[in-house]
Structure 1
């Protein structure tokens, strides 16, 4: 399994935990969904940044 996939799986677990806690705290659904969407975007951006291979130097 690639490190990109592991990074995204970890982000999904974190987001799931935060959504569960927000539900227990009776946070309105639109805020939960909005926060989850933002975190998914940040997770994808972070995963791409951390796992991207460096471009070879040009000659």
Structure 2
């Protein structure tokens, strides 16, 4: 799976979570903080899953 495809999917997931939180009445400051944390986790996991394995 390519990095760009993984990140597009994760950004869609993040947008859905942020929208759901805003509908639930969570303050926008907390939504922003949570979104930044989840974005960092998403980048780390995307890099880990899509990087090529080093030869032995």
**TM-score, structure 2 length as denominator?**
0.93
Mapping 1:1-59, distance limit 5 Å:
3-57=2-56
Aligned length in residues: 56
Segments of structure 2 that go 5 or more residues without pairing to the other structure are none
Deviation, 1:55, is 1.2
Q: Which has the larger radius of gyration?
A: 1
Instruction: Give the secondary structure class of the aligned counterpart of 1:30.
Output: helix
**TM-score, structure 1 length as denominator?**
0.89
Runs of 4+ in structure 1 over 6 Å off: none
